[in-house]
Structure 1
């Protein structure tokens, strides 16, 4: 059966369902990787009473709703974050498929999206980003750019040649590195982790320099709004630190979906006669 003949609505729903399942697995990765335990074994267990979870209690989104967010065995509350990761990943997957359809570019950006989710989750929980989530992706970005340039693979990719990928890596990593140095000088303490530098270098390789600038702007805007909201709610004091990685990842995802349109929207008035 040729999937290209299926209704687009069906494909998007299928992508969302697959994304929900992926979100469940990615949450396992976010929980286990910092604890240096296998992401495959042992099987998932209830966080409250340590009972092995049956398959029918592990259906993404549905099981949480049926159980009303409570453990089947001890009736303790289960964190809402399980449901959030599944729903958010479902929506992100559906967005990529809606934008790029059934293509190699879709597969590429779904893999990138999963990477961003895990990096965001670990940075939010532990305020660090494992190197293996960012460093291997830098040469991967160059390889993808070479394939686009020389073979025509990934025709919908934002970066169309190696030069764009290299410049994107340098601009992304360089700007965050500069912010890190200036922030440390101004505040007399580390203002941003080096993991953010490597993360932005990898994302710059996939976005190109122009989308990278937009990504950093969007991340700063989102981070400022959330930071102000948390401070007003009394969740952090004036010295409180919030991880920047999740906002960089959110900015990168927005650039994947809407970057060219946003850039065209704000550059047209600047250069129109």
Structure 2
């Protein structure tokens, strides 16, 4: 299995649902310890791409690799053992298990599949780090929305990943919680040395947390670069302004 020193590489990934092409030959990469953002309007294909990278759905063409190990069109379990961990746009916790048990289940899996990496992870550290120590005996389903988000990230880290993919981690968070999340992202990178790929609609969060950003629109990468380069890219401005105009026109039509 690959080590933390191997690059996550997405090459020419395409995905179709019937006659609809959702991903159109997407290329993306993330290096060890790098924090990469993925943004785009609703329906651009962002969550589909994360699902394809982690083998929650097969790709039609293209491939995903960690170093020399191909993980596309395998299984989520294989991807986890290879070094990929993720969170979900719609939170997926073991709601009837306690906070501690959610982390322990993942840690058991990580120590089986990635013993060298997971041996460095400790339940108490994750509970303290994400502010969950006091609620460690609560059922996960009883947590607030923001704490459920934090628990999902903590559980993913218990797998000892080389790469952590976060799907809308700041969704539903207030400004203070988002600032805390930015600090957590930096801590994750520094403590675990893993790369992160982050999808989010909160542009302030993405522009602050990520050193490099990809912009996805209608299933294709239309721009990439530093936050400054992406912010000033005419294609990116057109993507967001164009979609905003469309939404305003649709809303006006419904109100008339």
Question: Normalised by the shorter chain, which TM-score bucket?
Answer: 0.3 to 0.5
TM-score, normalization: structure 1?
Answer: 0.34
Answer with 1 or 2: which has the greater Rg: 1
Higher relative contact order (CA 8 A, sep 6+): 2
Q: Which structure carries more helix by proportion?
A: 1
